[in-house]
Amino acid sequence: MSLKYAATKVSEGHYVLPKTKDMKVDAHAYLSEALYEASDETLWDQLRNGASYEGVTGAYIMPDAHMGYGVPIGSVIVTEDTLIQAGSGYDISCGVLYMSTGLMAADIADLARRRQWIEEIVQRSPNIPTSWFNWGVCLSTLGRESEAAEKFLKAYELAPDDYGAQYRAFRSLFFAQDYAAFLEFATQECDAHPEMIEHLLADDDFSTLFARPEFQELRDRYQK
């Protein structure tokens, strides 16, 4: 039986897989039509698996979902009185932190309050790079780019292969107009990865900085 084709499109970007076998709830997939067509059967099998644990009250996959271990990466499995270890990842320390709180969705809808919550998480577990990254995202959304850059740089320090954090650090430094810190970071990254100069020059925003003499020197040093 194909679980993928058992799912019903209920609205634009929203598919529902009805309960089957041991599933405790219907499972919901938030996918565009193109993402739905590209999804494979393994993803849907893992979604069913995630919806079948004891205590599950909700099962969802997001647009970035793909095959994981037991449950899809990019899924949300809501439980009551149950922790699902497979959902936190175990091969690359995915950075999931379990906390017992009395918070409801409405309590963290406000960005400023959400930032306070993330700050508390970071203080409790300061070596989780995704917590620093999320803190940076909140600050950037609030327009506090200088502070956001500090958080993205910390996330990148903890996870030096996270080029998303690297890019967001550059972006926040640019919009904070902290060009001296941008140049320092760019020099550091070009020293480690000379090809970085091409990425900086290819960016519509960052490339504008290379009209400045100090940035021209950086370009001349590394551009082939």
| This model's pTM is above 0.75 | no
Measure the CA–CA gap between 66 and 40, rounded to whole angstroms: 9
Find the DSSP H helices in the chain: 33-38, 41-50, 111-124, 129-141, 145-158, 163-175, 179-192, 196-202, 213-222
Q: By C-alpha distance, which of 23, 80, 15 is closest to 48?
A: 23
Reduced to 3 states (helix: H, G, I; strand: E, B; else coil), residue 91 is coil
pLDDT of residue 179: 96
Q: Are 2 and 8 in contact (CB under 8 A)?
A: no
Using one digit for the tens of pLDDT, what is the confidence trace for 37-81? 988 899 999 999 999 999 999 999 998 888 877 788 888 899 988
Q: What is the four-CA torsion angle of 31, 33, 35, 39, rounded to 10 degrees?
A: 100
